[in-house]
Structure 1
Amino acid sequence: MHRMNHAIERLDSARVASAVEAANERGRPLYLIVLATKPCYIKLASLVHACVAHGVPFLLIDSGQHYDADLTGARRELGYEHLVAAAFGIRGSLIERAAQLAHGVAELSACLQASGLRMSAIPVISGDTSTAALFPQYWYFAHGIRSVHVEAGLRSLAPPGPEHWRALDDNIRAQRACQWLPVPDEPFPEGVDTRLASVVSGLLLAPVARNAEQLVREGYPAGCIERVGSLSSDAVKLAQAAPAGVSIFERHPQLADGRWLRVDLHRRENMTPQRVAAVLEGIARLSRDGFQVVLIKTNALMGALRQHGLTGLLADVQKRGVVVHELWPSYADVIAFLASPHCRAIYTDSGGLQEEAAVLGVPCMTCRFSTDRPETVLDVQANLLVPPLSATFVHRHVAALLSGDADAAWPGLADGARLYGHEVGAEIARRLAGYEPPDPLAGAQARYAKEAG
């Protein structure tokens, strides 16, 4: 690869030429599989490997939305880092990244045109990142070509309002019996990003039935929607099959003693002073009660503590017995810990971890007032919301759930492994191999014809 002085930071010209040649020779679209954040690096791994195995022409494009080594290591860990063809290296705020991404898309478009691509180039975007929202919009504006959206139809649902949580104070499990309502702006900005990603997509790949049904309710044609499962299912298996290195229990021997509650937060809505303080004080009280708690120092959490002048809270919870770890850089470590007898449960605001916990049959408590994986709460019942209403609320309900009958709190743990399917990457690759995309829009064709003339 060589470095460029433009929007594309790195470009593998040989890989681009080879992929373009394959698409032209086979008369098939060239798929642009777009990476953006840590969940993309993890979840798209099996799809990338399956496209190689099935001979699907593709280029792997990394927007660079996540760039810290601790967040991008899954590319190497899951065996496909060498396949990245172009990296944009976007940085800055949401607005700054949006502008840089537009320039990257324009430059990539010019690169493919110069490489002699005669077939359509179709972005394949995943999930609910700002890259997933904006890359297909920019590509659509440039070419009139619709994208493929993996993980389409994720929408947040929640029990109705804060007063509902106060009413549930005696039995938080009763949340499963009430009517859940849509929460369109949570999480921010992912709740809107996932909608924008689908607007200009021609093939919507939904993980579960709820997602597919939601897309139909929103007016998407049923013929454009296919239920395929979640790539999280594949990612767990890839991590478990990865070559053994220094294990999480060798790196942190203390974790091999007893059973632990793993806590991690990174969602923007949880980074307010009140919510951060509620969680940290709540888990400190759990530690005082004798529960073993390990808190992960995510970048977002540490940034919020510094921003709000609350770094003293972290030292306080450590003094009260909570074990605090730097971010675990290895995805295999996370999965190995979750799958071990030393993981009692997790308390998280991560959507991916809600899926992975369901796949592994691990009790999950979600630190949010809503979830975009409601199937884990309402369908297989392997998850429960425990929002950061107050330190007392967090402490009371997490302690009660951990102390009570796990089968009563999470009766669907044994069903979680079936929720998200198997060999999902291979299934998506097969569908891409046979996908007949709609023609580019006539207006875009006319514009390009005029420019070419």
Structure 2
Amino acid sequence: MLVTIIAGARPNFMKIAPIIEAIKKAGDQGHAISYRLVHTGQHYDKKMSGDFFEQLGIPEPDTNLEAGGGTQAEQTAAIMVRFEQELLSHRPDLVLVVGDVTSTMACAITAQKLCVPVAHVEAGIRSGDWSMPEEINRMVTDSISNYFFTTSEVANQNLLQAGIGRDRIFFVGNTMIDTLLKQQPKFRAPQFWDELGLKKKEYLVMTLHRPSNVDEPEQLARLLDVLEKGTEQLPVIFPVHPRTRNNMEKFGITTNHVKAVEPLSYLEFNYLVQHAKGVITDSGGITEETTVMGVPCMTLRTSTERPETCTIGTNELLGTDSEALKDALEVLFAGNWKKGGIPELWDGKTAGRIVEALLRLHQPEKAALA
């Protein structure tokens, strides 16, 4: 069984690393399964892409479609045209896509047009917010996938309500947590740790990149102002997304307690998160990592596709109102943040369950892994 695995953007790399490792292990055990890794090139910045391959032990891709840049439509079209040629030259038994980035949707469509089955890892999650490109990517990908690997019971229910048969849904857990738990012993302090005089649990971490938070000068300024004034003089470490940095420069926004730094590698960023007093973000994936590491998390969005991080984990959904952020910081500094727990099957063994399922689908009589 040949599985073509798609990676395109930073969130994908964390999710494919353990799957590749599990496929290699199954192959070593005598199972007829192999993979071909396709990097679409959606993220082409070294900090957003190259460092992840090196740090997570991901092998060099078999091909790079180099389809980065351009508008959403231009990028989608470039990926589809180039991935079609890849499939015609190296036709697999299955295309495996992960997450909800443009590459996920574009490659799923292309594969189905050529009658190649598609499996979607992290299927069934929904935010309900159609203004997010990721939500469109999720919905389109799930509407044409053959097999669905899910992270939660909520995702299972979303798929069932959409008419997907139970026999095509596999509740396996979260591959991003596989990577987190494996790499945790290797986390390392960034170079600026000593320069900024950082101490464990005496700083905050923030990431912002969504248009609702960073594209309007007043909104971005209000959020940063709360963090300048309401963090009890603790520094806020802010690895700045290129989009956000461009806007800050354009709007003339400067900071003091909020320390703007360059995007960090996986091992450095998660070292910061692990030892932070709290995290402020508008990312979905980070809320999963903070939940597993037991770090208080404040999400500056009006909806989330990962509700289990709120109902079970350490995350709170605040909306985009700066006053809500101010109130949440007061709860944090008063020592009253919820402790949270870890969702079911977020145990570091998800990739093995995915590969077992693929083997059952392809060779039911030979599927059991040692």
Q: Say yes or no: TM over 0.5.
A: yes
Alignment of 1:285-296 (within 5 A): 285-287=229-231, 289-296=232-239
Higher alpha-carbon Rg:
1
Mapped partners of 1:109, 1:399: distance in 2? 50
Mapped partners of 2:268, 2:245: distance in 1? 21
Mapped partners of 2:353, 2:211: distance in 1? 33
Equivalent of 1:281 in 203, 225, 235: 225
2:182, 2:348 within 8 Å by CA — same for their partners in 1?
Answer: no
Cα gap change, 1:252/1:337 in structure 2, threshold over 3 Å: closer, same or farther?
farther
In structure 2, the residue matched to 1:331 is 266
- How far has the Cα of 1:272 moved from its partner? 2.4
SS at match of 1:60: strand
Residue-by-residue CA offset, 1:107-136 (whole Å, 9 max, x unaligned)? 112312xxxx6xx53110001111111111
- How far has the Cα of 1:249 moved from its partner? 6.5
Mapped partners of 1:106, 1:263: distance in 2? 38
Mapped partners of 2:145, 2:262: distance in 1? 38
Alignment of 1:109-258 (within 5 A): 109-112=87-90, 120-141=92-113, 143-156=114-127, 183-186=128-131, 188-242=132-186, 247=190, 250=193, 252=195, 254-256=197-199
- How far has the Cα of 1:434 moved from its partner? 2.3
In structure 2, the residue matched to 1:14 is none
SS at match of 1:256: coil
- How far has the Cα of 1:190 moved from its partner? 0.4
Mapped partners of 1:350, 1:213: distance in 2? 23
Residue-by-residue CA offset, 1:174-220 (whole Å, 9 max, x unaligned)? xxxxxxxxx2415x100110111112211100101110111101111
Equivalent of 1:372 in 283, 299, 305: 305
- How far has the Cα of 1:335 moved from its partner? 1.9
Cα gap change, 1:419/1:110 in structure 2, threshold over 3 Å: closer, same or farther?
closer
Equivalent of 2:329 in 391, 396, 399: 399
1:410 aligned partner, one-letter code: K
1:298 aligned partner, one-letter code: H
SS at match of 1:70: coil
2:121 aligned partner, one-letter code: V
Mapped partners of 1:123, 1:202: distance in 2? 10
2:331 aligned partner, one-letter code: L
Equivalent of 1:85 in 62, 74, 79: 62
TM-score (norm. length: structure 2): 0.90
2:119, 2:145 within 8 Å by CA — same for their partners in 1?
Answer: yes
SS at match of 2:170: strand
In structure 1, the residue matched to 2:368 is none
1:151, 1:207 within 8 Å by CA — same for their partners in 2?
Answer: yes
Mapped partners of 1:296, 1:249: distance in 2? 12
1:431 aligned partner, one-letter code: A
2:207, 2:282 within 8 Å by CA — same for their partners in 1?
Answer: yes
1:78, 1:238 within 8 Å by CA — same for their partners in 2?
Answer: no
- How far has the Cα of 1:271 moved from its partner? 2.5
1:35 aligned partner, one-letter code: A
Mapped partners of 1:100, 1:53: distance in 2? 33
Alignment of 1:395-434 (within 5 A): 395=326, 397-406=327-336, 409-412=337-340, 415-416=341-342, 420-434=346-360
Cα gap change, 1:264/1:204 in structure 2, threshold over 3 Å: closer, same or farther?
same
Residue-by-residue CA offset, 1:298-356 (whole Å, 9 max, x unaligned)? 112113334xx31x22x2x22xx22222211x21112222223xx10100011110000
Cα gap change, 1:299/1:399 in structure 2, threshold over 3 Å: closer, same or farther?
same
SS at match of 1:416: coil
SS at match of 1:67: coil
CA RMSD, 1 decimal: 2.1
Gaps of 5+ in 2: 28-32, 364-370
1:34, 1:60 within 8 Å by CA — same for their partners in 2?
Answer: yes
In structure 2, the residue matched to 1:25 is none
1:368, 1:387 within 8 Å by CA — same for their partners in 2?
Answer: yes
Cα gap change, 1:417/1:140 in structure 2, threshold over 3 Å: closer, same or farther?
closer
Mapped partners of 2:316, 2:289: distance in 1? 14
In structure 1, the residue matched to 2:279 is 346
Equivalent of 2:203 in 256, 260, 269: 260
Cα gap change, 1:369/1:184 in structure 2, threshold over 3 Å: closer, same or farther?
closer
Pair 1:45 & 2:45 matched: no
Cα gap change, 1:361/1:257 in structure 2, threshold over 3 Å: closer, same or farther?
closer
- How far has the Cα of 1:421 moved from its partner? 3.0
Mapped partners of 1:291, 1:33: distance in 2? 42
Aligned length: 355
1:248, 1:337 within 8 Å by CA — same for their partners in 2?
Answer: no
SS at match of 2:277: strand
Cα gap change, 1:184/1:293 in structure 2, threshold over 3 Å: closer, same or farther?
closer
Mapped partners of 1:248, 1:423: distance in 2? 32
- How far has the Cα of 1:258 moved from its partner? 5.6
2:230, 2:329 within 8 Å by CA — same for their partners in 1?
Answer: yes
2:302 aligned partner, one-letter code: F
Mapped partners of 1:233, 1:144: distance in 2? 32
